[in-house]
Amino acid sequence: MVDATTKPAGEPIVEVEGLVTRFGATTIHDGLSFTVDRGEIMGVVGGSGSGKSVMLRIILGLIHPAAGRIRLLGEEITGFDEAARSRRQRRIGMLFQDGALFSQLTVAENVAMPLIEHARVSTQTARRLAIDKLVLVGLKPADGDKLPSELSGGMRKRAGLARALAMDPELLLLDEPTAGLDPISAEGFDQLILDLNHALGVTVMLVTHDLDTLHAICDRVAALVDKQIRIGPIAELAQDPHPWLQSYFGGPRGRAALRASDDAAVRNAPMPTR
Ligand SMILES: Nc1ncnc2c1ncn2[C@@H]1O[C@H](COP(=O)(O)OP(=O)(O)OP(=O)(O)O)[C@@H](O)[C@H]1O
């Protein structure tokens, strides 16, 4: 369980006000306002189709909202031109839901791609930096020569994370990083995110359905319900009377995750002194 008191309150590096997103006649977000502080790990939850992935893609500049004000890393987002998007993508790393690795490129070439595209470094330097990132996420340098299809699901996620980290981003957007992983691999991935957050100070927004992940590493949780956003520590959201939040946090899985996190907190608590 993350102890929010161990992290200093940082300045907001994501500031969103009145965000409205529409696809044709369908409204996905209807006036979202929220901030994410530097150094924070923010979990994002919500029902299927509630607009979690779309929210990350808007922050990355891949989808344009219908209305709203967005300020990222101290910069007001006004234009949605190619130059502005490229500038943003140099400071924000994203792990897509399916890893989004190019199947015909080696793992190292995949990780090196943002460096060549955005930082214009030589192929040789990009490869060296890519191998460093692979090691950072727990893969071996030799994994860099493999094709994505030669990696396990968990290793592919780590390779996707290495690519997201290629440009040393200040903000990391992770779309369902532990989906499809067995519980032990998922726990290892959670720990990796926490380690990166502590070691590099990277801010993380992470879409997940995994209640264990929320309890284990998130400082606050944002829930997308009824096209709106509700944000707070898990304990606070779990008390929210909204039916979706009640069944999410109060259902059998929610209660089991809470028990597991309480047990872990007891195990990790310092022994009382007499
Ligand atoms: N490019 C697009 N064009 C039109 N509709 C889109 C587009 N991208 C997403 N949508 C729609 O927006 C809604 C929200 O999609 P999104 O992928 O953000 O859901 P989600 O909350 O991440 O769901 P899940 O938990 O199932 O992944 C869905 O109804 C989806 O079909």
Q: What is the ipTM of this complex?
A: 0.97
Indicate if the alpha-carbon torsion angle 198, 204, 209, 214 is positive or negative: positive
Ligand 1 pocket, mutate which of 22, 27, 28 (most atoms under 8 A from CB):
28
Q: What is the pTM of this model?
A: 0.88
Mean pLDDT of 52-78: 88
Q: Does the beta carbon of 208 lie inside 6 Å of ligand 1? A: no
Q: Are 47 and 103 in contact (CB under 8 A)?
A: no
Instruction: Give the pLDDT confidence score for residue 257 in this predicted structure.
Output: 66
Q: Are 38 and 203 in contact (CB under 8 A)?
A: yes
Other Cβ atoms closer than 10 A to 108: 25
Instruction: Give the pLDDT confidence score for residue 219 in this predicted structure.
Output: 92
Instruction: Give the pLDDT confidence score for residue 271 in this predicted structure.
Output: 62
24 Cα nearest atom in ligand 1:
4
Mean pLDDT of 84-91: 76
Mean pLDDT of the chain: 86
Protein residue with least CA distance to atom 8, ligand 1:
54
Whether 9 shows a pLDDT value over 80: the answer reads no
Whether 244 shows a pLDDT value over 70: the answer reads yes
Angle, to 10 degrees, between the axis of helix 153-164 and the axis of helix 183-200? 20
Instruction: Give the pLDDT confidence score for residue 263 in this predicted structure.
Output: 66
Q: Does the beta carbon of 23 lie inside 6 Å of ligand 1? A: yes
Between 152 and 33, whose confidence is greater? 33
Mean pLDDT of 34-45: 95
Confidence of residue 152 (pLDDT cuts 50, 70, 90): confident
Tell me the one-letter amino acid at 212: D
54 Cα nearest atom in ligand 1:
18
Mean pLDDT of 234-263: 80
Helix (H), strand (E) at residue 53 = helix 52-60
Instruction: Give the pLDDT confidence score for residue 266 in this predicted structure.
Output: 58
Ligand 1 pocket, mutate which of 20, 21, 22, 23 (most atoms under 8 A from CB):
23
How confident is the model over 109-151, as pLDDT tens digits? 999 988 887 777 888 888 899 999 999 988 999 999 999 999 9
Instruction: Give the pLDDT confidence score for residue 35 in this predicted structure.
Output: 95
Q: What percent of the chain has pLDDT over 90?
A: 48
Tell me the one-letter amino acid at 125: T
Whether 267 shows a pLDDT value over 70: the answer reads no
C-alpha 92/C-alpha 238 separation (Å) is 30
Intra-chain end-to-end CA distance of the chain, in Å: 26
Confidence of residue 4 (pLDDT cuts 50, 70, 90): very low
Q: Does the beta carbon of 154 lie inside 6 Å of ligand 1? A: no
Helix (H), strand (E) at residue 127 = helix 123-136
Ligand 1 pocket, mutate which of 54, 175, 206, 225 (most atoms under 8 A from CB):
54
User: How far is the centre of ligand 1, averaged over its atoms, from the C-alpha of 51 (Å)?
Assistant: 5
Q: Does the beta carbon of 46 lie inside 6 Å of ligand 1? A: yes
Between 257 and 34, whose confidence is greater? 34
C-alpha 141/C-alpha 120 separation (Å) is 22
Helices (H), 137-251: 153-164, 183-200, 211-217, 234-238, 243-250
Q: Does the beta carbon of 54 lie inside 6 Å of ligand 1? A: yes
Burial of 201 from C-beta contacts in 10 A (0-12 / 13-18 / 19+): exposed
Q: Does the beta carbon of 57 lie inside 6 Å of ligand 1? A: no
Q: Does the beta carbon of 44 lie inside 6 Å of ligand 1? A: no
